[in-house]
Amino acid sequence: MSHSNSENILPEQNILDVFSGKSEENQFHIFTKMRNMGAVIPVTFPMGETKRQAWMVTRIDEAMQVLKDHARFTVDESSLDGTSNMWKAQADSSAPPTFLTRKSLNSVDDPDHRRLRRLVSKAFTPKYMESLRPRVQKIADELLDQVQHKGEMDLVKDYAYPLPINVISDMLGVPKTDQGKIRSWSAAIAHGLGLGRQDPGVAEQIRAFGEYIAKLVADKRQQPADDLISQLIAIEEEGDRLSEEELLSLISLLIFAGHETTSNLIATGSLMLLDHPEQLKKLKADLHLVPAAVEELLRFDGPATIAGPRFATEDIELAGQQIKKGDVVIPVLKSANRDELQFADPEELDITRTMKRHLAFGHGIHMCLGAPLARVEGDVAFTTLLKRMPNLRLSIPREDVDWHFMLSSQGLTSLPVSF
């Protein structure tokens, strides 16, 4: 694809700004320019005093190659040279482990990854996720019951956020009374960490989150219940299959990842539908289209901007670029999901689109474990919302909608709607 040269020149700072939340420009305009520059483009990441060579992967085939080939692209930087992972959050070494500070499912490769994933996936089977549907439905209805008579709500605070956190807390056995605390830790962590940056005060939040989980696990050891944490403890106690550190890291990951992303899908997806009235009308006319609409919303503007950084384990050529051992390689999921070579009219939202694949949940061994749950939650959330509130509309001017930037994604701070 040839484009005029002026279009192809995108200053590196503009690329870095879009990933640190400093960019004023629409992120999708920047991703289009990045794809025009190439499937794999070099950027230099400032890491404190040093600079680090990194590569942004902008198109779907190359992104899938990186995500699938864990022999040549590892998530575990310490496997290369023994140094600790530079993307890990810095926390006091005496703090309890969390997925942010120690190795966990998302930061180890096989064989450890296979062992951990096998243990958890017993609980995360599509069949089990599907069995949660009545519970998800009940939570969705209860949340809407609380606002139905008012004729208005904040779709983020009243629905998109509490729905998944209720579901994952139920599943894990987190007491209802603690959900507020978890929500504020998650928000502080998600907003306070970015690529190569950590805001002051985040370490204390991570510590508090870790201490809470350590106490929760200690309580469950004393009084096991019918929940996922109790199941994981039982697995750990059977022998060397799950260490205490792995157990705590894993639970912190499930709590954090189990709601932050799905609430983004529900909130951002609702806004995208309101932005595309003809698509919304089509969906309301036939709610059987919701599962397909969820896939298209995931492709069009999914919860995660990037996949976790990979590190080249050897010198390798990718899309004509010479990548050196140790270089950082970052698949940009939101760019790959609008790849012109893969999707017809990728900048259009089309809820009836038939697609073979998208990368919103990643790909390969690190593909999102909770994808089946997110799909059930998305299906129930949109179906229930549109069935009960067919006249849903924004109650503030569109330009006043407030976005916030998070760890590897963008989310809505609030979304006032009336119905």
- Indicate the pLDDT class of residue 156, thresholds 50, 70 and 90: very high
> pLDDT by residue (tens digit) across 134-149?
999 999 999 999 999 9
DSSP 105: G
Instruction: Return the CATH architecture of domain 5-418.
Output: Orthogonal Bundle (1.10)
Question: ∠ CA(93), CA(95), CA(99), 5° rounding?
Answer: 95
Q: By C-alpha distance, which of 310, 408, 298 is closest to 63?
A: 310
Instruction: Note the pTM of the prediction, 2 decimals.
Output: 0.91
pLDDT of residue 352: 96
CB-based contacts of 380, cutoff 8 Å, min separation 6: 133, 136, 137, 140
Q: By C-alpha distance, which of 42, 36, 39, 38 is closest to 12?
A: 42
pLDDT of residue 79: 81
- Indicate the pLDDT class of residue 234, thresholds 50, 70 and 90: confident
> Please, which residues bridge with residue 153 across strands?
417
Q: Which residue has better confidence, 388 or 98?
A: 388
Q: Kindly tell me the number of DSSP H helices and DSSP E strands found in the chain.
A: 18, 14
Cβ neighbours around 285 below 10 Å, total? 8
Q: Mean pLDDT across the stretch 247-263? A: 86
CA gap 120, 372 in Å, rounded: 14
Question: ∠ CA(184), CA(186), CA(187), 5° rounding?
Answer: 65
Return the biggest CA–CA distance within the chain: 67
- Indicate the pLDDT class of residue 88, thresholds 50, 70 and 90: low
CA gap 57, 42 in Å, rounded: 9
- Indicate the pLDDT class of residue 1, thresholds 50, 70 and 90: very low
Q: Is 364 helix (H, G, I), strand (E, B) or coil?
A: helix
DSSP 365: G
CA gap 415, 33 in Å, rounded: 29
> Please, which residues bridge with residue 73 across strands?
312
